A and B are shown apart, each in its own frame.
Chain A
Amino acid sequence: NAGVTQTPKFQVLKTGQSMTLQCAQDMNHEYMSWYRQDPGMGLRLIHYSVGAGITDQGEVPNGYNVSRSTTEDFPLRLLSAAPSQTSVYFCAVQSPGVTEAFFGQGTRLTVV
């Protein structure tokens, strides 16, 4: 089992370009989340989903879109990349209840 897989691992974008960060899981966990991590800022929640067809905003949702059409996938879309979106992005999955979260290995995004 792969667990939580994020692609790509690294990406460089030009300002204004769009792209989708992929997150796929084979753990059959209902909850999925996207975080960004900047130096000194810890993990900040962008969007999360409690199941297929259900998404909600986190702490820093502006500039990002998500959708959840299947249990396995939770893509994060940047419609018009900005330098402020340069960061490391982590996807996490979790089951309902008193459970731990499992993280992907991260995507390092640079917007120039």
Chain B
Amino acid sequence: SQKIEQNSEALNIQEGKTATLTCNYTNYSPAYLQWYRQDPGRGPVFLLLIRENEKEKRKERLKVTFDTTLKQSLFHITASQPADSATYLCAPYNQGGKLIFGQGTELSVKP
């Protein structure tokens, strides 16, 4: 069955550093991969989407890579800020309406 793994341990970093979150998947080949942010008590909010034929995608301080050989996506936040503290979820996707998420990685950025 499809399996998605994200860093289960919380990631603690200092303000200004780059945060790197990992998403690994097995037993399927997604056409694209989405990243979401979730704050406590709220629903997830979409951040970025990368297609299988794109190696890298950027949006402001965010960067996502997608390696279909390794079956892995990396999510980077550069110049991190305390406001970036949240849980980040990845969702490899093949369309068709069935959107499955990883368990999420909690990021804490300390001032």
Contacts and interface: CB of A to CB of B under 8 A. Distances in A.
19 contacts: A31-B97, A33-B97, A35-B101, A42-B89, A43-B89, A43-B104, A44-B101, A45-B98, A48-B98, A92-B99, A96-B95, A97-B95, A98-B49, A98-B51, A100-B34, A100-B49, A101-B91, A102-B46, A103-B44
B100 A103 contact: no
A100 B89 CA distance: 13
Given A58-B98, A59-B100, A98-B32, 16 more contacts: A35-B101, A40-B8, A42-B89, A42-B104, A45-B100, A48-B98, A48-B99, A49-B97, A92-B99, A94-B97, A97-B95, A98-B31, A100-B34, A101-B34, A103-B44, A105-B42
Interface of A: 4, 30-31, 33, 35, 40-45, 48-50, 56, 58-59, 90, 92, 94, 96-98, 100-106
Interface of B: 6, 8, 31-32, 34, 36, 41-46, 49, 51, 89, 91, 95-104
A43 B32 CA distance: 19
B1 to A, nearest CB: 9
Contacts of A103: 43-45
Nearest to B6: A42
Nearest to B93: A98
Contacts of A58: 98, 100
Given A42-B89, A106-B41, A106-B42, A98 B103 contact: no
B38 to A, nearest CB: 8
Given A42-B102, A43-B89, A98-B49, A90 B43 contact: yes
